[in-house]
Chain A
Amino acid sequence: NAGVMQNPRHLVRRRGQEARLRCSPMKGHSHVYWYRQLPEEGLKFMVYLQKENIIDESGMPKERFSAEFPKEGPSILRIQQVVRGDSAAYFCASSPPSGQGDQPQHFGDGTRLSIL
């Protein structure tokens, strides 16, 4: 999974704290996606972003979760006031701009979030 960089790899938070997960896409990629993988569950889509724009956030919980992909710097997934149920692996994927042929998504190695 060289290319898509996520940090931190592991994050521990207490209930009520904030969690910030970062994702730097592959070089030349301008589309970023966030997915969540709960234990014994498949990967579930959360949000799709391009630089400074949220394209599709249909998978994001309505409260406490937000995402951004600023003009400069990594994409950030932010979870406020974390609860035990937020414990999961969060994966970021990126793909090339539209019009550049096949555009499969390539994934990072994820951030494993644990809530105490």
Chain B
Amino acid sequence: QKEVEQDPGPLSVPEGAIVSLNCTYSNSAFQYFMWYRQYSRKGPELLMYTYSSGNKEDGRFTAQVDKSSKYISLFIRDSQPSDSATYLCAMITPHGGSQGNLIFGKGTKLSVKP
């Protein structure tokens, strides 16, 4: 079993839709969870950074962490064509504290159609 599982998609939605992106993980020791957005030929751009379980909202983006189910989600409200990108979930290795190497999901490719 891989440490972090993420459905690669592709996921295609109409403009204005609510998008739900998810990752599952196997190691219950993970405590820091991130979502990155990566446009083609560019580096990952940090969207959300959360510690432990709960919700965090930033504009149209909401991140949820459910440690009991080892499941994290990113919701995008009122999706726009400019949201079309690959979305990567990431977690820091358990021994890293708040520093340390990230373990990434493979990424979900999202396309928002006008």
Contact = CB atoms under 8 A, between A and B. Distances in A.
B88 interface: yes
Contacts of B36: 107
Contacts, number: 60
Contact of B43 (A1, A45, A56, A98): A1
Contacts of B106: 41-42
The residue among A59, A95, A103, A108 with the most chain B CB atoms within 10 A of its own CB is: A103
Contact of A107 (B44, B49, B101): B44
Nearest to B34: A104
A106 interface: yes
B107 A33 contact: no
Contact of A59 (B45, B88, B101): B101
Contacts of B101: 33, 45, 48, 56, 58-59
Contact of B46 (A41, A56, A106, A112): A106
B104 interface: yes
A43 interface: yes
A43 B100 contact: no
Contacts of B90: 43
Nearest to A105: B102
Interface string B79-114: 000000000101000000011111111110000000
A108 B43 CA distance: 5
A43 B44 contact: yes
Given A1-B42, A42-B88, A91-B43, A56 B100 contact: yes
Contact of A110 (B34, B43, B100, B105): B43
A102 interface: yes
Contacts of A91: 43-44
B64 to A, nearest CB: 18
A86 interface: no
Given A42-B88, A103-B98, A104-B49, A109 B105 contact: no
21 contacts: A1-B42, A1-B43, A1-B45, A6-B43, A41-B106, A43-B44, A43-B104, A45-B101, A48-B100, A48-B101, A56-B100, A91-B43, A93-B102, A98-B99, A102-B49, A102-B98, A103-B98, A105-B102, A106-B46, A110-B43, A112-B41
